[in-house]
Structures are given as structure tokens and as C-alpha cells.
Amino acid sequence: MPTRKLTYLQAVNESLHQILEEVPESYLLGEDVGAYGGGFGATAGLIEKYPGRVLETPISEAAITGIATGSAIMGKRPILEIQFSDFLTVAIDQLVNEAAKIYYLSNGQEKVPMVIRTASGSGTGAGPQHSQSLENWLAHVPGLIVAMPSNPYDAKGILLAAVKNNNPVILFEPKSLYKKPSDIDIPEELYEVELGKAKLVREGSDLTVIALGRMVDIIKNMDVNPSLNIVDPVTISPLDIQGLLKEANKTNKVLILTESIARSGISAEIFTQLYEAGFKGTMKRLGGKFSPISAAKSIEENLIPTQEEIKQAIEELMHEN
Amino acid sequence: MNNKYELSSLLKWYSTMLEIRHFENILDDYNRAGNLYGTTHLYNGQEAVATGICLQLEDEDLILSTHRNHGHALAKGTDSYQMFAEIFGKKTGTNGGKVGSMHISDPSIGNMGGNGIVGGNFPIALGLATAFKMDHKNQVVICFSGDGATNEGTFHESLNLASIWKLPIIFVIENNQYAMSSDASKMIAGNIAGRADAYKMKSFRVDGQDIFEVDRVFEEARGIARKEPVLIEAMTYRFRGHSRSDAEKYRSKDEFLKYEDPILKLRNILITDYNVSPDQLALLDEKAYKKMEMDAKRAWVDEPAEFDLNNLEGEIYAD
């Protein structure tokens, strides 16, 4: 299978082209997904190729989430772009009370096979209403599947898995990674990356780092002494706790890294579930500070776990018994 | 006067309205006897709207309803025994008995369900209608809501989208004068039918107590909806409280005198203009009551709803 390096955005774009080609029920909708190419360019070139299957919508996040939901009930496979994940707040009733509930409400008679792709997180100076990491909000809701691909390979493959899934799937794409080229080759063909399965990013022996989204990229590229066993949950809900536990037990020391705010967050959930699943080693977690994200680079970069903080946490874990 | 109608159609209206009325009165009897768990929102007084509209629909036409959905569900053809079972929390219910009065659905006959969120169904209607349009279907989506829902943002987003995309939706707003306790005349700027104008959408305002008017207007609206969306504001009145826990402190006891009972109104027309005997109508009444009473009794003794706590994933997620 031919391969080459692609950026995260190129991988998503290629996946969308191939999905529209291969899945006849699929279609795209969202704000500016036509000639503009989507908020960040992920939908470039699609409206020209599939004019009837790329629907440009007004700025009406609640209504367009309902369009995805209602058409999914009728057997379509909508892929909705919500430009910034912060705007999901405007759609949250439709997502939480409608899309997530319909399978249960209908006693299994109606299914909602829809996908939302949304750009999330900090690192672009977009300020407090365009930089949040709200993935844990949705992970709290039964009926939704929430994933956060951390690299172009996963981004391309998980999109197909999401489109094929018969439930609402929300994909949080860390937008700070959009323009980064992949460090591994991406197959030209369409392939699937399984939802609900953690991935070992790099095998190591001293300390297991469980990192999500952008933090995978950061930890992967850090120069630290201990041998790191890096694992990426990929899917936040359902969490592959057995997969994470297996990796945690390899080193008996765990550091959980998230860009999203630590307080009441997914890091606490992973921490607790590992403990409940029987993990006996030592754990620490580092997440975003309890603050809006600043537009100023000098502040923004300190609001998520910094390299210094990560190094210090690793050191502390290595010296604890 | 109303000679475009076959008597059999009028008697079908009459029976359907009575079935809705009796269904809910029996439900209320169970409630008063302390036998009902959870809430109910009765449709008493509004029966002509659901009946005049849903009896014109085919199974493939879809309705979306609200928390006050029993009338729409019954008129669309949802099984009354299964509805009682749903509300009683029985496994034989329309929805497995798991979700209760506000969420009665039966997609097999085009009842896409009630909704507990005021204004929550407008965006879903857009999606159902988008699928119809993509598949070049000739069917329509009927989205029922109350006056209160027209103050939600989703109403405005959805009217705009339905209009620019020319979706086959009929928005039926049942203005029963109150959003819970809130008086529509104090809560709504302008009027509801007028709001459609802003979205370049045709609209009608109809006397919802007069089933002949509802039928006539809906037939016209249905013709329009094959090309573009349309809105009907049905002026009506709920004779009962908002829900079972409403003490009705916000309105006077005799206010209802301003509104005709749609069932009595049709009854008078049947006797006066169609020479139907009061005895024949009493028999229909009796028949509707008996059916509902038997359905309720049968549902009451069914097995309670079940949920597999050891397979949460399977209960909540589709394969």
C-alpha cells in the first residue's frame, strides 16, 4: 500500500474525500464547509466534487446539529463540522438531550449514526472562546462516543470508524496539530482506527505516560532521561481502561497528561478508573490550569502542562516508591 | 353546509377525538387514585388539532411532538394499549416502558416521538425533512409545538433554515394560551403566525377548536409543504392544567367559557347538519370509552419495564 507523510489537516481532508466516495449515505454539513473549505481547510475541494453532498449552513449550531441528528435517524451518515469546539456549547441541548438520547428513548427503534468533527484546544492564540478543551463535558453523557485523535494517522482512520458507527461520535481534533506533518507514513487507501481502543505510542520501561491529544505530541518530542512508556487512550468515552491498566502495570508508575482543565476532568477519571481496576502503583496527573485560555502567547503556553512541570512530575514519580 | 365531507370521515374524527379525551381521562383517573408514577401533560381541549391533521397523513409522513404528545400519538395511529403500558412503566410499552408519557414514539407508523425539551424538536424536523429531500420523497414532516416554544432560539434557527432550504415541513404551533403558567399574550412579541413572515414562510392562523377549519387549512398547507415549509398557528385552549402538579393559580376558573369544546362543537354539527342521532353518537362515545378502559386495565397488569444493568453499553449504544 503506497504511503507518504501528510499533515493532520491533509489526512482529515483525504479521509473525507474517500468516505464520500465509498459511503453513499455519507454527506458533509457545517458552516463555511463549501468554497471556503471549512474553518481550517479540512473540507477543501469537497463541494466541487460532491456538490449535492456538501451542505453549507447558516451559523446555527443547534439547528445544524439537529439536521445531522434527524437525517441520521433516516439512515444518512452526516459528518458535521463544528468550527471550534467552544461552539458546541450552543449545540449542547441537541447533542445531550436529543442525539445522545434517541436510541434509548426509542427503545432501540431509532439510531443516530452521526459524526461531529470539531477543532479543539489551545496553542493558536485564539483566545478564551476559541481555545477550550471541552471533551470531558461530552464524555459525561451516556449515548455519545468521544474521541481525540492525536496524530494524522489516527485522524484519518478514526473518521471512517466514526462514520461506520451507529451512534453519535464526536471527534475533537487538537487544532494546534493541524499543520504538523506526520512522523509516520500515512497509507493512501482508506483504513479504520478502532474506537474505544488505547494505543501504545512508544514502548518504555520506567514510567507510563497516559497522554491525550496535543499532549501526546508534546511528550513524544520531549527529551527526558527515564524510559517512557507512552500510551494514548485515543477514545475518551468509552475509555479503554483495561488497555491503560495493562500499560500502567508495566512500569508501576503513571503520569496522566491532558490539555483540558485538570479540575473535574478526564485526568481524574482515568486516575480513578485505574485505581478501581486494581492499579497499585503511583500516579500523578497534570492538566490545564483552572482558567480561561489567554490570547497572549506568554500566558497561554503556561496554562497547559509545561515541559518544566512535566519534567518535575516525572522526576517526582521516579523518586517515589 | 360542510357537504364536501363524507359522514364516515366526520364520524372517524369524532371517534378519534373521543378516544384521545377518554384515554387521558382514564389516565387522570389512575393518577387521582395515586396509581401513576411520573408526570403527564393532558391535551384536553386541543383534540381537534391533532385529529384534523394526523388523519390526513400517511404512515410515511412523520410527526414530531412535545411533552403534550398523547393526542398526536393516538391520532397518528399509535396503539393505545401500548401507550398506557408506556406511561405505566410496563415492558409492553411503546418504548419498552422506560421513558414514559413525554416520549411516546412508534417510527413504524411515522410517530417520531414526543420531546421533553421545549423547542428541542424543531432542529430534528429539519434533519428528517433534509433526508426526505435528499431522497426525493414526496412525504412531509409535521413538527408540533406549543406557543412557548416559539420563544426558543431553535424555533428561529429552524424557521430560517427550513425556509432557505425549502424543506417539506409543516410547523404546527398549538397556541393554547399558556406556556406552563406564562400567558402567551404577555410573553410573545407580535404574534406567532406573523413570525413566519420574517422568514418568508407562508402561515395560517386557524381556530383550533373547529376541526373543519383545521382540516381545511392543513390540506392547503400540505400542498404548499411539497415545495416549501409552512406554519400553522392553531388557536386553542387546554382545559386542564399544564401537568398533573398544576394548581392553576394563574388563570380564572371561568376563562375556559371563552373556548368551545371541539368535541361538543363537532357533535352539534353532526346532529344539526348531518341528522346523526344523539343515540348513535352516544354509542360511539361508549365504544371509545370501553376500548380505552380495557386497554388501560390490560396494560396495568403487564410486567414492569426492565433494564439490563450488567449490559449498560448494550442498552445505551446501538451495535
* A172 to chain B, closest Cα gap in Å: 20
Contact assignment for B157 to A109 by CB distance below 8 Å: no
pLDDT in tens, B119-138: 999 999 999 999 999 999 99
β-sheet bridge partners, residue A228: A207
- Mean pLDDT, residues A213-234: 97
Give the rounded distance of the alpha carbon of A189 from its chain centre: 22
Smallest Cβ distance to B128: which of A62, A70, A78? A70
| A contacts of B135 (beta carbons < 8 Å) | 74
Give, for B180, the enclosing helix (H) or strand (E): none
**Which residue of chain B is at minimal alpha-carbon distance from A61?**
B157
Say how far apart CA A88 and CA A146 lie, in whole Å: 13
**Which residue of chain B is at minimal alpha-carbon distance from A63?**
B123
* A248 to chain B, closest Cα gap in Å: 25
Q: Sorting pLDDT into bands at 50, 70 and 90, what band is B140?
A: very high
All residues at 6 or more sequence positions from B78 whose CB lies less than 8 Å from its CB, including other chains: B94, B104, B105, B106, B109, B111
Give, for B69, the enclosing helix (H) or strand (E): none
Q: What is the DSSP letter of B103?
A: G
* A194 to chain B, closest Cα gap in Å: 14
Tell whether the model's pLDDT for residue B3 goes beyond 70: no
CA dihedral B14, B17, B18, B23 (to 10 degrees): 160
Say how far apart CA A262 and CA B289 lie, in whole Å: 60
pLDDT in tens, B202-251: 999 999 999 999 999 999 999 999 999 999 999 999 888 888 778 888 88
Tell whether the model's pLDDT for residue B1 goes beyond 60: no
| B contacts of A69 (beta carbons < 8 Å) | 123-124, 127
% of chain A beyond a pLDDT of 70: 100
Q: What is the pLDDT of residue B181?
A: 87
Q: What is the pLDDT of residue B4?
A: 78
Contact assignment for A103 to B96 by CB distance below 8 Å: no
Contact assignment for A60 to B95 by CB distance below 8 Å: no
| A contacts of B124 (beta carbons < 8 Å) | 66, 69-70, 73, 94, 98
CA B10 → CA A234, B179, B237, B266, distances in Å?
60, 31, 22, 8
- Mean pLDDT, residues A11-37: 98
Tell whether the model's pLDDT for residue B186 goes beyond 60: yes
3-class secondary-structure state, position B73: helix
Kindly report which listed range (A152-161, A222-231, B32-41, B290-299) carries the lowest average pLDDT score. Answer: B32-41
- Mean pLDDT, residues A161-179: 98
| B contacts of A112 (beta carbons < 8 Å) | 318
Those residues of chain A whose CB sits closer than 8 Å to some CB in chain B are 27, 52, 55, 57-58, 60, 62-76, 78, 93-94, 97-98, 103-113, 142-143, 145, 166-167, 238
Smallest Cβ distance to A69: which of B103, B127, B318? B127
Tell whether the model's pLDDT for residue B150 goes beyond 60: yes
Tell whether the model's pLDDT for residue B315 goes beyond 70: yes
SS3 track for chain A: CCEECCEHHHHHHHHHHHHHHHCCCEEEEECCCCCCCCCCCCCCCHHHHCHHHEEECCCCHHHHHHHHHHHHHCCCEEEEEEEEHHHHHHHHHHHHHHHCCHHHHCCCCCCCCCEEEEEECCCCCCCCCCCCCCHHHHHCCCCCEEECCCCHHHHHHHHHHHHHCCCCEEEEEEHHHCCCECCCCEECCCCCCCCCCCEEEECCCCEEEEECCHHHHHHHCCCCCCCEEEEECCEEECCCHHHHHHHHHHHCEEEEEEEEECCCCHHHHHHHHHHHCCCCCEEEEEEECCCCCCCCHHHHHHHCCCHHHHHHHHHHHHHCC
Query: What crossing angle do the helices spanning B121-134 and B153-164 adopt, rounded to 10°?
Result: 20
- Mean pLDDT, residues B238-267: 87
Tell whether the model's pLDDT for residue A231 goes beyond 60: yes
The HSE-up count of residue A65 (CA atoms within 13 Å, CB side) is 29
CB A29 within 8 A of CB A57: yes
Q: Sorting pLDDT into bands at 50, 70 and 90, what band is B2?
A: low
Q: What is the DSSP letter of B143?
A: E
* B151 to chain A, closest Cα gap in Å: 15
Straight-line distance from the first to the last Cα atom of chain A, in angstroms, rounded to the nearest whole number: 47
β-sheet bridge partners, residue A210: A231, A256
| Prediction pTM value | 0.96
% of chain B beyond a pLDDT of 90: 88
Mean pLDDT of all residues belonging to chain B: 95
**Which residue of chain B is at minimal alpha-carbon distance from A93?**
B120
Contact assignment for B153 to A70 by CB distance below 8 Å: no
Say how far apart CA A180 and CA A10 lie, in whole Å: 10
| Per annotation, catalytic residue among A17, A130, A140, A319 | A130
Selected for mutation to probe chain A from B66, B140, B157 (highest A CB count within 10 Å) is B157
Q: What is the pLDDT of residue A65?
A: 98
Say how far apart CA B262 and CA B139 lie, in whole Å: 28
| B contacts of A75 (beta carbons < 8 Å) | 131
* A4 to chain B, closest Cα gap in Å: 34
Q: What is the pLDDT of residue B239?
A: 85
pLDDT in tens, B50-85: 999 999 999 999 999 999 999 999 999 999 999 999
Q: What is the pLDDT of residue A321?
A: 63
Is A140 one of the annotated active-site residues of the chain? no
* A77 to chain B, closest Cα gap in Å: 10
Number of A/B CB contacts below 8 angstroms equals 133
Give the rounded distance of the alpha carbon of A41 from its chain centre: 18
pLDDT in tens, A68-114: 999 999 999 999 999 999 999 999 999 999 999 999 999 999 999 99
Say how far apart CA A106 and CA A109 lie, in whole Å: 5
Give the rounded distance of the alpha carbon of A214 from its chain centre: 9
% of chain A beyond a pLDDT of 90: 97
Smallest Cβ distance to A62: which of B115, B132, B154? B154
Q: Nearest to residue A243, comparing CAs of A251, A232, A253?
A: A232
CA B156 → CA A57, B68, B119, distances in Å?
14, 21, 10
| B contacts of A27 (beta carbons < 8 Å) | 134
DSSP labels, B34-65: T---S-----TT-HHHHHHHHTT--TTSEEE-
Contact assignment for A52 to B123 by CB distance below 8 Å: no
Contact assignment for B107 to A110 by CB distance below 8 Å: yes
